[in-house]
Amino acid sequence: MSDSLRAEKDAVHLIHQVVDGVTYLHSHGCVHRDLKPENLLMVGRIPDTDEYMQLKICDFGLSAMRAVAVNQDDFDESLQKILGTEEYLAPEVFSTAANHRNGEHYTGKIDVWAIGVIYYIMLSGRFPFNRDDNDAFYLITQIMKGDYDMDCLSGISDDSRELITKCLTAEQDSRPTAFEVMDLAVFKNDKLPEEDLMSIAKLSSMGNYKTWRKKRRVLNAVKAIARLKVAQGAKDSHSTGPVSASDQEALDLYQTIHAHGNADAKGLETYEIVLYMQEQMPHLFQKRDRDTDKLVMCSDRVETFSQLLSEKVDLNHDGYISKDEFVKGYCIWQMYIRKAEMYQQSERNASWIYKH
C-alpha cells in the first residue's frame, strides 16, 4: 500500500469519528460552532495502543445548546451570533449578521462546513480559505463564495473529494446534514490497514503532532469475538439440549421468510431476506428527502444490508443462506438492525436543528 493511500485511510478513519460525534451532538440539540483541529483530542499518546487512533471532540465553550435555552426562540437567537474561529466559519454565519433582524439564523450545518475544512487540512496540509496579508475581508469573501483550490488534492480519491465538495457547499440548503455525510461513499469501507500507518505530520499543517502508528487491535478483538460466537453457535447446533429463545426466534423467522419466498432446499437467497425486511421494517432503509421532507428508500442502505448478509451470514458463500447459517448469523444482522434503528431515531431527533 502506498504512503499516500495509507495517509488517506488514516484521514478517513479520523474524520469519520468527527462526523459520528457531530451526529450525536446534533441529535441532542447541540451545535458545536468551533470545530477545528485544536478541539480534537487524541485519546492516547502511546503508539500501538487501542486509544491511539481515537478522537474526542472537546471545548464546548462556544456551543449552542437547546437544553440550556429558555425556549426555541431563545435558541434560534443564539444561532445569530458570530462565534468561532474565522477560518472554519460557514458562509451563513457571516450573512446572518446582516439579516438577523429578519429572524434569520444559521443551523447545525455550520459544523458540517467545519468538517470539510478540517478534512481539507488533513489531506493537503493547508487551509482551503486564507487571509491575504492578514486581511479578514479577503478571507470572508472567499468563504462566502465557497472559493477554494482543489488542485492540491489531485492525488486523493474521488470519494474524499466528494466529502470535501459537499461539506464546503456555500449554499446551506444544498449542504448535507451530518447524517447525510455519514452515508457518503468514503465511509462505506472505513477500515484501517493492517500495516503500520504513516505519520500525520506528512499530511497535516499541525506540526505538533508526533509520528504515530496504529494497528487495528480493536477491530481484531471484534473479529475474535465474532469468531468465538460462530464457534459457540456451531457447538450449540450439535447439542441435544433445549433450543435457546434467540435461536427459536431465528428459526421462526426463517420459516416465515421461507414461506413467503421460493421454497428451496438449499435455503433462502439474500434478496428474499432483504425484500422481507423492506416490507416489515421499511424505516431501516429510508432517509429523509431534503426537498420534500418525506422518507424515501435509500438504495445504499439496502445494499449495505445485502452485503452484510452475503459476507457475514452466508458462511460458505454459495449464494444461499441455509437454516443453520441463518440461525448462526441471526445475532450479527440483529445488531445491524438495532444500530440502524438507533441511527434513524437520532436522525429524527436532529432534523429540526437543520431548519432555519
Cα atoms in the Cβ-side hemisphere of radius 13 Å centred on 191:
9
- CA torsion angle for 37, 38, 39, 42 (degrees, to 10)? 80
Interatomic CA distance for residues 354 and 26, integer angstroms? 9
Is 34 annotated as catalytic?
yes
With contact defined as beta carbons under 8 Å apart, do 309 and 273 qualify?
yes
Residue 266, helix vs strand vs coil: coil
Cα atoms in the Cβ-side hemisphere of radius 13 Å centred on 125:
12
Buried b (16+ CB within 10 A) or exposed e, 115-153: bbbbbbbbbbeebbbeeeeeeeeebbebbeebebeeeeb
What sections of 125-157 are H helices per DSSP?
136-145
Neighbours of 245 (CB within 10 A): 8
Q: Quote the distance between the C-alpha of residue 104 and its chain's center.
A: 29
Residue 68, helix vs strand vs coil: helix
Neighbours of 198 (CB within 10 A): 20
Interatomic CA distance for residues 96 and 90, integer angstroms? 10
Interatomic CA distance for residues 262 and 285, integer angstroms? 23
Q: Which of 3, 20, 34, 76 is catalytic?
A: 34
- Annotated catalytic residues are 34
